[in-house]
Structure 1
């Protein structure tokens, strides 16, 4: 690893100097450190289909800032081009058999993965927030197909990769995460971002969801047929109704203000740092970031961190988050409307992200997924009477 030019002091110095042009950066030495790449699903799955160097590489970097010596653990994330990931997912669809083998390929470029290499690098280059990891450099080189992020090494943290241990998420952790997530969502609510829209041509909308309806149906059919124990008829029926009534529920969502969401917000991509001001929620792996209503991230997050013993707290936490968001924006004062929109966003999560998870699960099982599916279906059951039954009966 030491001999690769990306890992040289000169290259790392260039990244850091570009990030901090007002300071004079000099890198003297980089010591390789061990790092586990297995937690990154996309890197693991694409490692075998790309001839380029990709993955996470860790160092202790010794450098000076304006002559003052510093030492910091860092991780260099070298990203695959999104078209490699999109192609890999098509391969998974074909391995999973029909109906996905033939339905998925026409939608390969529209499932949110085609521009992952640009999305995350642009987030880290242009946006700042306490919930982001510290970034020391970003390299975007489309000519040579190189997309590199130099970030802090998140080793002295808690609750990293905690998908299998939701019991470790205390009430304090959940409320801290929701409070700081609300600040992120509030910052970008209705706000234009310094990004080229071309990299978000697949942001969810009524037209987008209708265009991909054959894919949502195929993903749903595959999940129900392959995993009938995970998808009981009652709750599964709500997802089928969502597919049948996409214009109805997206007719509502289309009118709701959007923000910039993480779109993969779960304990695979989060941790907590201890700071002088207390717990700091840290969110990384922004390659799927997109535009949706803020409740979408909350729906996914709660499905991962709430196990059966805390299902009854789902709406309590939702109301807590609404209060935090409303205090910052003044735009979410009606709890009933907020809950309804949360329920509609949850349908999108079940059809899209959870559907893709289940496709991959049919080829290479994810141990955490059955628990997450159960928590998700509990979400649907909690909103069946006052949201879904009324919505679907009116649009029948």
Structure 2
């Protein structure tokens, strides 16, 4: 199967002086510095399942060119790099790309970027960066990541092709629901969410990576964001890409900090469910949709266990199938529970900590109850300061844990199942660890029907 069919990303010619000057204006303020040059740098984004799908000859096709490895010269303000009306496939880019911007100061003092986010934890929204510590920012240069999103139809067709390659029941079932599995509007969702963070501010903005610029052109199917480059080598963040060594990296204090920040973000949208449901770019799963999706996910689980029983054990697979068999009952509970905006991929691949003299760090475990208490505290504070908040009744510890069990099973049966199918197409190195962590947590939490007030404090999650 060729990757050439997915060369639907952004044309590099659109990354011109105006684009990079906008980034500097957002980073340091208008009229404080001037772009002098920019250059594309090497970036390891291999941890992302669909990153850089527009480049490479990894599938062995003779007619594929590896554009990601092209030698791209540094460009300065006099370079002839005008944006064209027609896209140029030979320069299409989809995935994450690192750029260094050189600039001259126009004012005596340029504010440090490190003061923009007082929050100590941050979600990097699926950016995967593993740069050597030697690449530290210096005066007169700014490192940024350009994240170019493929059109949603490309991802929908890609996942459907992966299902078709499996054959059998999954090929038939998935083809019927391919538009309902979360990829519709994926090309605009992150851009819209970034704009939402700018609008609402507060906790959502504090835990988000800073967005410096956005490119969106529906007629040319162009969707890209420019984000701050999160690099431990600069000394201002820690814990990035720590999935493989999470047990030795994340302390209980770290975990509590992340959950506190996350609860503040969740509380920001509690009581605003109707407003969220009107945001058409969001994915709004429902009980009725789950009825339609159930056969495809059942086929996915069966296929994954057959393909790799070491990852998808009998216990894990049967637990997911049992959940799906009773999903209508469980989704009735979910739909009657308070709902809010969440980051659907918030994990140790996608979060890090900002270095701050005033505090600790973040991670998770029995921490479900900690999150409930932090959420309740944050919600009460916001509700009394904002008359627009709709009053809700916070669940008890037992009710909260029961819903958390359902949410974990829903995540396992859908998201992890999809990871498994992706793993048959392109190896997902962190999948075995995630699957084993979920299996362990399921065993600790017990069956869905069993009431429980708390889970054990220590787990590998």
Q: Is the 8 A contact 2:211 2:226 kept in 1?
A: yes
Distance 1:94 1:65, change over 3 A: farther
1:51-200 to 2 correspondences below 5 Å: 51=89, 52-63=92-103, 67=107, 70=110, 71-127=141-197, 128=201, 129-156=205-232, 157-167=237-247, 168-191=249-272, 197-200=279-282
Shift of 1:153: 0.8
Counterpart in the other structure of 2:449: 388
The alignment status of 1:267 with 2:348, answered yes or no, reads: yes
Q: Following the alignment from structure 1 to structure 2, what is the Cα–Cα distance between the partners of residues 366 and 20? A: 34
Distance 1:115 1:247, change over 3 A: same
Distance 1:46 1:351, change over 3 A: farther
Counterpart in the other structure of 1:374: 436
The alignment status of 1:10 with 2:18, answered yes or no, reads: yes
Q: CA RMSD in A?
A: 3.0
Shift of 1:63: 4.7
Which one of the candidate residues 30, 34, 39 is aligned to 2:47?
A: 39
Q: Following the alignment from structure 2 to structure 1, what is the Cα–Cα distance between the partners of residues 20 and 278? A: 27
1:205-284 to 2 correspondences below 5 Å: 205-278=286-359
Gaps in structure 1 of 5+ consecutive residues: 282-300, 303-313, 391-396
Counterpart in the other structure of 1:359: 421
Shift of 1:196: 6.3
Shift of 1:327: 1.1
More helix by share: 1
Shift of 1:185: 0.7
Shift of 1:260: 0.9
Shift of 1:62: 4.1
Q: TM-score, normalised by structure 2?
A: 0.69
DSSP-derived class of the 1:258 partner: coil
Shift of 1:37: 2.7
Gaps in structure 2 of 5+ consecutive residues: 1-10, 57-63, 65-87, 111-140, 381-392, 452-461
Distance 1:248 1:66, change over 3 A: farther
Instruction: Summarize deviations over 1:4-36 as a string: whole Å, max 9, x none.
Output: 43332222224665x699844653223323322
DSSP-derived class of the 2:34 partner: strand
Counterpart in the other structure of 1:329: 379
Instruction: Summarize deviations over 1:188-227 as a string: whole Å, max 9, x none.
Output: 2232658963323x42110111111111111121122223
Distance 1:139 1:194, change over 3 A: farther
Shift of 1:322: 1.3
DSSP-derived class of the 1:44 partner: coil
